[in-house]
Chain A
């Protein structure tokens, strides 16, 4: 992948060091996100998506450790930043919307105090200036300024997530990481939040790393996307290509998990029984700007035994 990417992750490996054994949560993963691009990262729970997000902001905690690879952001080596550089990098360059707004807001501080913190930590502003900007931010996500004095538990789930989004764009970062931003919300609110994000993105032009297991949402929003399985990327390419012409059978299984409302009838199958891969090989090109991991012989054989509809992988 070329060097003009805003975010460039190469051969990233993250491990959880245990007393007895070490688990590899992210295994030799590479991808890049261009300026203004929305990049989707899909996969089931526990496949390593969120670990990647946390690694970009260097939020990993013991016993998780980066075991190899590099993360370049705008030409800077993120993994080499020292304490103060890292602090400046966080939120100013890359901000993040966490999965649960309820849990990611401090329960004992008001919304206003938590937003103000962002400005006072990064910019030479007075409290009053910061408060004024917090108010503007809230209005931007259609929340009344008066809510600055509210505590998190006094807001609805959707409102809280809006507040978190407003916080994320506070410093006009060049990239936003959305880690399953709508999973904890009901469907209607989900739509509102996604619309909000789209509007903001169009307005402010930041890049997005969008993490979800909701494929329909991802296809709708992303330009490029990658599918992860067990710490490995199994397929990567333009979202529309993956949607219509997925090469890897795991991607197809994921896409099928969300059947179209119109069109031919597809038999629904559980993901778990459908696809269990033992080994994932390195990505190989399967089309223009489109890569997929070849299915290993071992997996092909075991899949052939249980397969009913989906025949093993691409040839």
Chain B
């Protein structure tokens, strides 16, 4: 419990840092993109909305500390202003409509990659010198060397344009009405295949190698020798003794991996025109929609921190040693 509380404290600090970063960027960076943005879109906004944005971006000439305190208050209460590119929708609403897609894509691909990669790593470490141990890692490293977006574009070209097996864009067939119907859900699954597959393909090597190396280190532990001496069945030693311990670092990487997948979603979603927060973030950048940009950054960070907290809770269940400390 103390471990979890400490972690929560740490995540709160991390969240505070990202809010502070958001606060400082428009105020201390050279140039004045915000004034330009406001000047361009002032006529369509009400004076109230203009005021709010001025307040958020530090154009209201209040003392800096006062701005800071009210800014933190605004962020925590979800008062992030209106989106410029999707005027007049509030930033929070824009994000809420899209974060689900990112989470779906991110968690699907992450879970598949981590499960499959770890399983392959366990087998490779257990059968040292086998084809899987010697041929697969270099192959996966090679695949993992390609820029992710490049592989994604290649897959889109090959399977989407040339072969026509998979849809080219979006998360579902736009002719369908979203809802819990079979047609809609299967369309969602169909649109998910290619983006998820490319993420799995590039990230699986990291999982496999990490697990393989940890397993090899674990295999030389005394408790593995003892388990062998006890005459346990090999599968039991491999799973309950070796893999059970070797998976602990993998669980920690899972939280980090989520950060990379959600962050990397920017590229995936851009290539596949997948309507998640990453795609929206790029849209916000090109459309100079600073309120949306900052809101997205904060929400993505919050999602990653929350996921890490969940991982910590799982970790405590798996490693009895952190429970007592």
- Chain A residues within CB distance 8 Å of chain B: 54, 57, 59, 61, 86-92, 95-96, 98, 100, 103-110, 117-118, 121-122, 151, 153-154, 167
A105 touches B226 (CB 8 A): yes
Given the contacts A100-B222, A103-B223, A153-B324, A108 and B229 also touching, CB distance less than 8 Å: no
Tell me if B231 counts as interface (CB < 8 A to partner A).
Answer: yes
The proximity string for B residues 76-91 relative to A, scoring 1 for CB distances below 8 Å and 0 otherwise, is 0000000000000000
A107-B245, A108-B320 given; A121·B236 CB < 8 A: yes
**Bound form: Cα–Cα A114–B227 in Å:** 9
A64 to chain B, nearest CB (A): 12
CA distance A104 to B228 in the complex (A): 11
Instruction: Give the complex CA separation of A155 and B240 in angstroms.
Output: 21
Q: Using Cβ atoms and an 8 Å threshold, which residues of chain A touch B222?
A: 98, 100, 103-104
Nearest CB on B from A288, distance (A): 36
Question: Do the beta carbons of A91 and B230 come within 8 Å of each other?
Answer: yes
- Shortest Cβ gap from B213 to chain A (Å): 17
B146-195 contacts to A (CB < 8 Å): none
Q: Which residues of A contact B229 (CB under 8 A)?
A: 57, 59, 90-91, 95-96
Query: Contact between B236 and A106 (Cβ–Cβ < 8 Å)?
Result: no
Known interface pairs A105-B223, A106-B241, A108-B245. Does A121 touch B320 (Cβ–Cβ under 8 Å)? no
B233 to A87, Cβ gap below 8 A? yes
By a beta-carbon cutoff of 8 Å, the part of chain B in contact with chain A is 220-223, 225-233, 236, 240-241, 244-245, 248, 318-321, 324
Interface centre among B225, B226, B319 (most CB of A within 10 A): B226
Q: Which residues of A contact B223 (CB under 8 A)?
A: 103-107
A90 is contacted by which of B230, B244, B245, B318 (Cβ under 8 Å)? B230
Point out the residues of chain A lying under 8 angstroms from B226, CB to CB: 96, 98, 104-105
Q: Are A108 and B318 in contact (CB under 8 A)?
A: yes
**A305 to chain B: closest CB distance in Å?**
43
Most chain A beta carbons < 10 A, residue from B230, B232, B240, B320: B230
CB-CB under 8 A from A91, the residues of chain B are: 229-231
Q: Are B230 and A151 in contact (CB under 8 A)?
A: no
**A136 CB to nearest chain B CB (Å):** 18
Nearest B residue to A93 by beta-carbon distance?
A: B231
Q: Is the interface of A mostly helix, strand, loop or mixed?
A: helix
**Complex: how many Å from CA A154 to CA B227?**
20
CA A98 to CA B226, docked complex, whole Å: 8
**Contact in complex: B324, A154 (CB < 8 Å):** yes
Residues of A within 8 A of B231 (CB): 86-92, 118, 121-122
Would A103 and B232 count as touching, CB distance under 8 A? no
Instruction: Kindly identify which residue among A89, A117, A122, A151 contacts B236, using a CB–CB cutoff of 8 Å.
Output: A117
- Residue of B220, B318, B320 with highest tally of chain A CB at under 10 A: B320
B240 partner, pick from A104, A109, A153, beta carbons under 8 A: A109
Given A98-B225, A103-B221, A151-B321, the answer on whether A108 and B230 have CB atoms closer than 8 Å is no
Known A121-B233, A151-B320; 18 more pairs at CB < 8 Å: A59-B229, A86-B231, A87-B231, A87-B232, A92-B231, A96-B226, A96-B229, A98-B222, A98-B225, A100-B222, A106-B240, A106-B241, A108-B248, A109-B241, A117-B227, A117-B230, A121-B230, A154-B324
Nearest CB of chain A from residue B316's CB, rounded to whole Å: 12
* B40: min CB distance to chain A, Å: 59
A117 to B244, CA, bound (A): 15
5 interchain residue pairs of minimum CB distance: A90-B231, A103-B222, A104-B226, A151-B320, A91-B231
* Contact residues in A for B236 (Cβ distance below 8 Å): 117, 121
Contacts of B221 in A (CB 8 A): 103
- How far is B324's CA from A107's CA once the two chains are assembled, in angstroms? 13
Residue of A nearest to B128 (CB): A62
Residues on A with C-beta less than 8 A from B225 are 54, 59, 98, 104
Instruction: Name the residue of chain A whose CB is nearest to the CB of B225.
Output: A59
A-B contact pairs, 26 of them (CB 8 A): A57-B229, A59-B229, A61-B220, A87-B232, A88-B231, A91-B229, A91-B230, A92-B231, A95-B229, A98-B222, A100-B222, A103-B223, A105-B223, A106-B227, A106-B240, A107-B319, A107-B320, A108-B245, A108-B318, A108-B321, A109-B240, A117-B240, A121-B230, A121-B231, A121-B236, A153-B324
